[in-house]
Amino acid sequence: MQILMSGTLVQSLRSLVQERKALQRKEQQLAQRQRQLIKGLDQVLHSIGYQLKPLGNVNGPTTSASGIIKTQRRKHVKCPHCDRRFTHRLPLARHVSASHRPTKQKRAGKTAKKT
């Protein structure tokens, strides 16, 4: 009776180890797929002038999946009205239209008609 129980216990432990290994493989596959999706999204956003940054350490340098530290791109495009600089023209245009839009002159009220 005891041999039967120990055999069942060993078999249960083996199946538990196999299930745990399968779950670890699935976790690795999901993590790899997540990295691929984030990399694709980063490329799309980068092409229109935006950049993904992790939420954990916003102030520090970002690292890629391979562990390479990415530095910030140089901001070469200068605003013609102030000292702000941008990496792309689209955010510059948005900044100029929002911050430096000329104020419209108020139209004088209609005067009474001369008859």
- CA-closest candidate to residue 47, choices 14, 90, 5: 90
Contacts with 110 (C-beta within 8 Å, 6 or more apart), sequence order: none
d(CA 95, CA 52): 20
- How does pLDDT run along the chain (115 residues), one tens digit per residue? 667 777 888 899 999 999 999 999 999 999 999 999 999 998 888 888 888 777 665 455 555 556 565 666 777 889 988 989 888 889 999 999 999 887 766 666 666 666 5
pLDDT of residue 63: 57
